């Protein structure tokens, strides 16, 4: 089976960048600003995922059809979320209210 | 009856058949994990503060360490793929087993996490957050184990210099498992 | 390029039980599917007898208790969709036809193909076992809404419920694996010269159906795992009082449930396309239109699912949106039916049994589609939801798909599969005996639904308004017509056995068709083709002016 030659990629360099990004995403929440936490945590997750997909999975050099398949499927997941959220995430309606559940206390052991 | 059909050797799309199939496997896995994680998100955003309080008890250090472990094992398997391309079968074999070792470390850290959490009363039944936590990480862990198993099986053919294309294919699967964890980590450990 | 394989003789086990040959696997799926379909038919016989003659002992079953009634309707639905329609339309025809029609020797992964059948067989066994466990099989409807499906104290089937769910999950895995095989084979293994628009429509349809299935089943697999944990471990994913939400199951289920109906529809439409073209001796009208309409249908099918939830308490504004998309999806399907009609128009029609079934598909499916429009309008659905109107609507779609579509394919490809011709006289008796009673089952049920008959009621004597003789006569008519339809399947089985043993020997191309499967001998040997064909044109070049033959096989150079 013939292999298409990938251009030379420095995998160790990519790995190092990934670790730096990981560190940033851990430090981010420690600063305490909520929106910053979300951007660092999820924004960086997206960047890391794209790097792993692009360079480790070689998706950057793959035939376009593979991208289209994956993007379409991902789009479906977004559709599922945004279409179901208005129904499942309502706190109250005309004649009803849905309170949050009461949680049971932690059993055994001390604090973490 | 172990001959390969002519069908398998053809490649109208230009992508080798095995790799094309792996992309479709990844697509089907995206919908499965996606379904679970979308459900988690719907609940999490709806319950906001209450679930945030629950999520405070996940072990961020362990989660971060596991992210590091999986990223590193992803590096190892792609280096195995590079070695296989260069026909360096000894190196390819070694790197495959380093990857498997990485998976093993990941599972051990998870075992430690589960044990401590359960001992502290954070069982699957404590709240729906914890039900999701165990289901999502359990499903992910199951995929880690399957990946380790398949890598072990193909490594023996690789050692003999046969079926080297399988290194890339299982690599793509392993990178996907890594990407799922890349999202699980902030979802379960950071967003508190 | 010629094929090459070992020529040593295979043992019984290698040839029939552990085969990796796509044709044998197709037969395995087909006969398992038919067997399960017969079980599904027995189940409906039992509960329709209960509805026509409530409280009386049903011959062959006994008195139907309320719990048993629920178990009968639940498993009839689940079996007919998951263990009859999908295996015969997708797995059996897909496995048999795809490698032959694209001109290669097998699926790309024969051993995974075998594995997918084995997982499917396991799922059937698990489902059958659920009938024999203490407290019986699951009875929470094929839609399995929690909390009924989650809590044994409600569904009263602590073993049956999880077994049912496990059986469904295994069936999903089998079809995911099989689907990947089909898609990859169709994408990569086509004969030299076969461009995308030279692929027979039935292959396109089965592949698109596999993609739709894959894209929609994931969330339900996640949801099924969550439901299984609720059932067996005591988690509360769907338990509102403990912080869960039963509504999310509905969305997870129907996000899959709606594309699923197109998953079964598309292969049936593909089969009908092949058959009516061959027996009109005319080029298929609007190949590209048909294909693009299929793409649009597939995409739209992900945007309509909440029409199953119109009265579940969703926001009426959300219902508006889903009404619009639901009504919209009838447009591309109607376009595809127009393509059929335009193909037939002006053609030289041969009324072989396969063609009769193909024509019946078109007529009956139109009725099913039209009645769907009533249900897609959320206002009307407030009345119609959960009545027999819905039941009649979806049987006017599912029966053409799974039964009429199946027979269209069988009568057409039987000569290729088994090397013998089927008996036309018996075929025609079977045809009329299936189609006419079918209408007498479900037209009364439309009216019963309009009169107010609710679904999943085991005994209407509890409802004085519905116990009038007018409505009861409708129920009884439906039941008697069902028995007639079941009886008329006997000629089919006689035909099957008779033709297999003593049928007229079939040549390679008894219908003078164009696609590549008719090149191979009947039945094709292992490896299919002595020499792999090369393709020069599309599969529907019939009655081309200037040629003395009215067909022009794909592989024949000009």
In angstroms, rounded to a whole number, what is the distance separating the alpha carbons of residues C206 and C182?
8
pLDDT at A105: 52
Tokens of B91: 């190196």
Burial A70-103 (b: 16+ CB within 10 A, else e): beebeebbeebbebbbebbbbeeeeeeeeeebeb
- Tell me how far CA of residue B176 lies from CA of B29, B173, B182, C41, C522, in angstroms: 9, 5, 10, 43, 44
Q: Which value does ipTM take for this structure?
A: 0.94
Share of chain C above pLDDT 70, in %: 99
In angstroms, rounded to a whole number, what is the distance separating the alpha carbons of residues A19 and A30?
17
In angstroms, rounded to a whole number, what is the distance separating the alpha carbons of residues C22 and C419?
17
Tell me the three state secondary structure of residue C236.
Answer: coil
pLDDT at A5: 57
A72, B23 in Cβ contact below 8 A? no
The answer to whether B48 faces chain C, any CB pair under 8 Å, is: no
Tokens 């199953």: give the residue.
C308
Nearest to C183 among B6, B24, B124 (CB): B24
Nearest to A88 among C242, C251, C255 (CB): C251
C520 pLDDT above the threshold of 80:
yes
pLDDT at C482: 98
C147 pLDDT above the threshold of 70:
yes
Using a CB-CB cut-off of 8 Å, the residues of chain C touching A76 are: 215, 302
B60-85 helix and B89-119 helix, angle to the nearest 10 degrees: 170
Taking only the tens place, the pLDDT of each residue in C183-206 is: 999 999 999 999 999 999 999 999
**Burial tier of C498 (Cβ tally within 10 Å: 0-12, 13-18, 19+):** middle
Taking CA–CA distances from A101, the nearest residue in chain C reads C243
DSSP label at residue B189: I
Query: Which of A:55-94 have CB within 8 Å of C?
Result: 72-73, 76, 79-80, 83-84, 86-88, 90, 93
Closest to B22 measured CA to CA, from C420, C333, C181, C150 = C181
C271, C93 in Cβ contact below 8 A? yes
Average pLDDT over residues C85-106: 97
Closest to C184 measured CA to CA, from C74, C84, C98 = C98
CB contact under 8 A, C315 and A86: yes
Closest to C123 measured CA to CA, from C44, C234, C224 = C224
CB contact under 8 A, C110 and B10: no
Return the residue in A23, A66, A82, A83 with the most chain B beta carbons within 10 A, the one to mutate for interface testing: A66
**Mean pLDDT across chain C:** 95
Return the residue in C313, C316, C325 with the most chain A beta carbons within 10 A, the one to mutate for interface testing: C313
In angstroms, rounded to a whole number, what is the distance separating the alpha carbons of residues C385 and C456?
12
CB contact under 8 A, C318 and A86: yes
CB contact under 8 A, B21 and C108: yes
Share of chain A above pLDDT 90, in %: 47
Closest to C365 measured CA to CA, from C324, C393, C385, C384 = C393
Q: What is the pTM of this model?
A: 0.94
Tokens of A4: 């298409």
DSSP label at residue C62: B
CB contact under 8 A, C248 and A73: no
pLDDT at C373: 95
Out of B41-45, C300-304, C331-335, C454-458, which region has the weakest mean confidence (pLDDT)?
A: B41-45
Using a CB-CB cut-off of 8 Å, the residues of chain A touching B126 are: 103-104, 106
C46 pLDDT above the threshold of 70:
yes
Tell me the three state secondary structure of residue C287.
Answer: helix
C191, C228 in Cβ contact below 8 A? no
Q: CA-based angle C160:B36:B28, to the nearest 5?
A: 90
Average pLDDT over residues C529-553: 94
Q: How far is A94 from chain B (nearest CA, A)?
A: 18
pLDDT at A110: 38
pLDDT at C2: 42
| All residues at 6 or more sequence positions from B161 whose CB lies less than 8 Å from its CB, including other chains | B87, B89
pLDDT at B2: 56
- Tell me how far CA of residue C75 lies from CA of C175, C455, C490, in angstroms: 19, 15, 23
pLDDT at C3: 44
Taking only the tens place, the pLDDT of each residue in C443-501 is: 999 999 999 999 999 999 999 989 999 999 999 999 999 999 999 999 999 999 999 99
What ranges in C14-65 are assigned the alpha helix state H? 22-52
Q: How far, in whole angstroms, is CA C199 from its chain's centroid? A: 22
Q: How far is B93 from chain A (nearest CA, A)?
A: 18
In angstroms, rounded to a whole number, what is the distance separating the alpha carbons of residues C377 and C325?
10
pLDDT at A2: 42
- Tell me how far CA of residue A100 lies from CA of A96, B52, C142, in angstroms: 13, 13, 31
HSE-up of residue C263 (Cα within 13 Å, Cβ side):
27
Return the residue in B7, B60, B190 with the most chain A beta carbons within 10 A, the one to mutate for interface testing: B190
- What would you measure as the largest C-alpha separation in chain C, in angstroms? 76
CB contact under 8 A, A88 and C255: no
A80, C255 in Cβ contact below 8 A? yes
The answer to whether A102 faces chain B, any CB pair under 8 Å, is: no
Nearest to A81 among B20, B41, B64 (CB): B41
The answer to whether A57 faces chain B, any CB pair under 8 Å, is: yes
In angstroms, rounded to a whole number, what is the distance separating the alpha carbons of residues C518 and B146?
42
C20, C111 in Cβ contact below 8 A? yes
Nearest to B72 among A15, A74, A91 (CB): A15
3-state percent helix, strand, coil for chain C, nearest multiple of 5: 70, 0, 30
Query: Which of B:54-73 have CB within 8 Å of A?
Result: 54, 57, 59-60, 64, 67-68, 71-72
Tell me the three state secondary structure of residue C207.
Answer: helix
CB contact under 8 A, B12 and C187: yes
Nearest to C107 among B7, B13, B132 (CB): B7
Q: How far is C280 from chain A (nearest CA, A)?
A: 37
- Tell me how far CA of residue C375 lies from CA of C264, C315, C457, in angstroms: 20, 17, 20
pLDDT per residue of chain B (192 residues) written in tens, 0 to 9: 457 899 999 999 999 999 999 999 999 999 999 999 999 999 988 887 788 888 889 999 999 999 999 999 999 999 999 999 999 999 999 999 999 999 999 999 999 999 999 999 999 988 899 999 999 999 999 999 999 999 999 999 999 998 999 999 999 999 999 999 999 999 998 766
The answer to whether A50 faces chain B, any CB pair under 8 Å, is: no
**Burial tier of C14 (Cβ tally within 10 Å: 0-12, 13-18, 19+):** middle
pLDDT at B52: 82
Using a CB-CB cut-off of 8 Å, the residues of chain A touching C311 are: none
Share of chain C above pLDDT 90, in %: 93
In angstroms, rounded to a whole number, what is the distance separating the alpha carbons of residues C477 and A76?
44
Taking only the tens place, the pLDDT of each residue in A57-112 is: 999 999 999 999 999 999 999 999 999 998 888 777 777 777 666 555 554 443 33
CB contact under 8 A, A73 and B74: no
C281, C274 in Cβ contact below 8 A? no
CB contact under 8 A, B27 and C215: yes
CB contact under 8 A, C214 and B125: no
Query: Which of B:27-46 have CB within 8 Å of C?
Result: 27-36, 38-39, 42-43
DSSP label at residue C530: S
The answer to whether A7 faces chain C, any CB pair under 8 Å, is: no
The answer to whether C223 faces chain B, any CB pair under 8 Å, is: yes
In angstroms, rounded to a whole number, what is the distance separating the alpha carbons of residues C543 and A104?
77
In angstroms, rounded to a whole number, what is the distance separating the alpha carbons of residues C43 and C76?
6
Q: How far is C336 from chain A (nearest CA, A)?
A: 24
Nearest to C251 among A84, A93, A100 (CB): A84
DSSP label at residue A19: H
Question: Cα Rg for chain A, rounded, in angstroms?
Answer: 21
3-state percent helix, strand, coil for chain B, nearest multiple of 5: 80, 0, 20
C255, C219 in Cβ contact below 8 A? yes
In angstroms, rounded to a whole number, what is the distance separating the alpha carbons of residues A26 and A39?
12
In angstroms, rounded to a whole number, what is the distance separating the alpha carbons of residues C97 and C271?
10
């Amino acid at each position: 089976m013939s292999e298409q030659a990938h251009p030379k990629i420095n995998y160790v360099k990519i790995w190092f960048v990934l670790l730096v990004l990981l560190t940033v995403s851990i430090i981010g929440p420690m600063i305490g600003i909520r929106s910053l936490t979300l951007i660092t945590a999820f924004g960086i997750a997206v960047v890391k995922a794209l790097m792993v997909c692009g360079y480790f999975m070689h998706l950057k050099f793959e035939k376009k059809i593979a991208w289209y398949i994956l993007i379409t499927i991902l789009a479906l997941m977004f559709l599922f979320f945004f279409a179901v959220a208005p129904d499942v995430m309502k706190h109250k309606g005309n004649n009803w209210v849905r309170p949050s559940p009461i949680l049971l206390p932690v059993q055994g052991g001390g604090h973490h | 009856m172990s001959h390969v059909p002519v069908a398998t050797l053809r490649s109208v799309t230009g992508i080798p058949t095995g790799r094309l199939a792996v992309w479709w496997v990844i697509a089907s896995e995206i919908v499965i994990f996606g379904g679970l994680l979308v459900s988690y998100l719907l609940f999490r955003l709806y319950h906001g503060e209450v679930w945030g309080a629950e999520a405070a008890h996940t072990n961020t250090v362990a989660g971060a360490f596991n992210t590091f472990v999986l990223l590193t094992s992803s590096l190892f398997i792609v280096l195995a793929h590079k070695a296989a391309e260069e026909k360096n079968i000894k190196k390819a074999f070694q790197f495959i087993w380093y990857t498997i070792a990485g998976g093993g470390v990941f599972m051990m850290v998870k075992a430690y996490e589960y044990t401590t959490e359960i001992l502290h009363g954070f069982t699957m039944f404590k709240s729906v957050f914890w039900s999701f936590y165990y289901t999502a990480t359990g499903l992910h862990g199951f995929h880690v184990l399957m990946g380790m198993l398949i890598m072990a099986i193909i490594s023996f053919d690789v050692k003999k210099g046969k079926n080297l294309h399988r290194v890339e294919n299982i690599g793509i699967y392993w990178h996907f498992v890594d990407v799922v964890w890349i999202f699980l980590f902030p979802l379960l450990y950071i967003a508190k | 390029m010629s094929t090459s394989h070992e020529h040593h003789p295979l043992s019984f086990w290698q040839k029939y039980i552990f085969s990796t040959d796509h044709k044998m696997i197709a037969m395995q799926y087909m006969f398992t599917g038919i067997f399960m379909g017969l079980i599904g038919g027995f189940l409906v016989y039992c509960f329709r007898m209960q509805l026509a003659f409530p409280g009386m002992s049903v011959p062959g079953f006994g008195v139907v208790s309320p719990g048993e009634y629920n178990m009968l309707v639940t498993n009839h639905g689940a079996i007919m969709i998951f263990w009859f329609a999908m295996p015969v339309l997708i797995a059996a025809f897909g496995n048999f036809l795809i490698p032959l029609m694209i001109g290669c020797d097998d699926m790309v992964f024969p051993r995974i193909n075998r594995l997918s059948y084995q997982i499917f067989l396991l799922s059937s066994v698990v489902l059958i076992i659920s009938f024999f466990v203490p407290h019986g099989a699951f009875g929470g409807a094929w839609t399995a809404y929690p909390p009924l499906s989650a809590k044994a104290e409600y569904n009263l089937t602590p073993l049956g419920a999880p077994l049912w769910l496990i059986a469904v999950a295994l069936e999903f895995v089998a079809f995911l694996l099989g689907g990947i095989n089909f898609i990859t084979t169709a994408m990569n293994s086509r004969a030299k010269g076969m461009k995308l628009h030279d692929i027979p429509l039935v292959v396109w349809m089965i592949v698109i159906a596999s993609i739709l299935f894959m894209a929609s089943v994931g969330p339900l697999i996640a949801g099924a795992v969550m439901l299984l944990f609720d059932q067996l471990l005591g988690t509360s994913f769907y338990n509102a009082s403990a912080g869960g939400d039963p509504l999310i199951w509905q969305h997870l289920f129907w996000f899959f449930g709606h594309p699923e109906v197109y998953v079964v529809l598309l292969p049936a439409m593909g089969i009908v396309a092949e058959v009516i073209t061959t027996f009109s001796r005319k080029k298929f009208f609007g190949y590209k239109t048909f294909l693009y309409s299929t793409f649009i249908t597939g995409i739209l099918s992900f945007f309509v699912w909440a029409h199953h939830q119109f009265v579940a308490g969703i926001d009426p504004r959300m219902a508006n949106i889903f009404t619009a998309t639901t009504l919209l999806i009838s447009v591309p399907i109607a376009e595809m039916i127009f393509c059929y009609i335009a193909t037939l128009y002006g053609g030289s029609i041969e009324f072989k049994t396969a063609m009769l079934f193909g024509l019946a598909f078109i007529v009956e499916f139109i009725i099913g589609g039209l009645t769907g429009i009533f249900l897609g309008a959320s206002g009307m659905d407030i009345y119609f939801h959960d009545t027999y109107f819905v039941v009649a609507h979806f049987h006017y779609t599912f029966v053409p798909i799974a039964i009429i579509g199946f027979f269209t394919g069988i009568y057409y490809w039987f000569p290729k599969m088994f090397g013998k011709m089927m008996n036309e006289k018996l075929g025609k008796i079977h045809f009329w005996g299936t189609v006419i009673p079918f209408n007498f089952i479900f037209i009364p049920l439309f009216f019963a639904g309009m009169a107010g008959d609710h679904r999943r009621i085991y005994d209407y004597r509890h409802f004085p308004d519905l116990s009038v003789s007018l409505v009861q006569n409708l129920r009884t008519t439906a039941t008697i017509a069902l028995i007639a339809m079941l009886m008329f399947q006997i000629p089919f089985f006689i035909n099957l056995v008779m033709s297999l043993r003593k049928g007229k020997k079939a040549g390679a191309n008894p219908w003078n068709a164009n696609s590549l499967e008719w090149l191979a001998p009947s039945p094709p040997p292992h490896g299919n083709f002595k020499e792999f064909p090369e393709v020069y044109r599309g599969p529907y070049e019939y009655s081309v002016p200037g040629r003395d033959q009215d067909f022009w096989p794909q592989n024949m150079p000009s």
